Amino acid sequence: MFEKHCITCNAVLKSDEIPLYKKMVNRGATEYMCIPCLAKKLRVTEESLYEAIERFREMGCTLF
């Protein structure tokens, strides 16, 4: 599997950041953003995005 990079800051994306972006922005996305950049875009805190990942996991989301 090849690495994906954040389209804003070019950071290497962690495994949770891709499904999070799909959930929060666009299910069909093929380019993604890291959590710090996504937090800025959505005007939320990074913590709230980590909490969202946990919630999706608890819900049994198949993307995570």
The residues of the shown chain that bind Zn ion, judged by CB under 5 A, are 6, 8-9, 11, 34, 37
User: What does residue 6 show for φ and ψ, rounded to 5 degrees?
Assistant: -60, 130
Q: Which is nearer to Zn ion, 43 or 59 (CB)?
A: 43
Minimum gap (Å) between residue 13 Cβ and Zn ion: 8
* Cβ-contact 39, 47 below 8 angstroms: no
In angstroms, what is the minimal distance from the CB of 40 to Zn ion? 9
Give CA–CA dist 18/30, Å, rounded. 9
Closer to Zn ion by Cβ: residue 21 or 56: 21
Point out which residues pair with 32 in neighbouring strands: 6
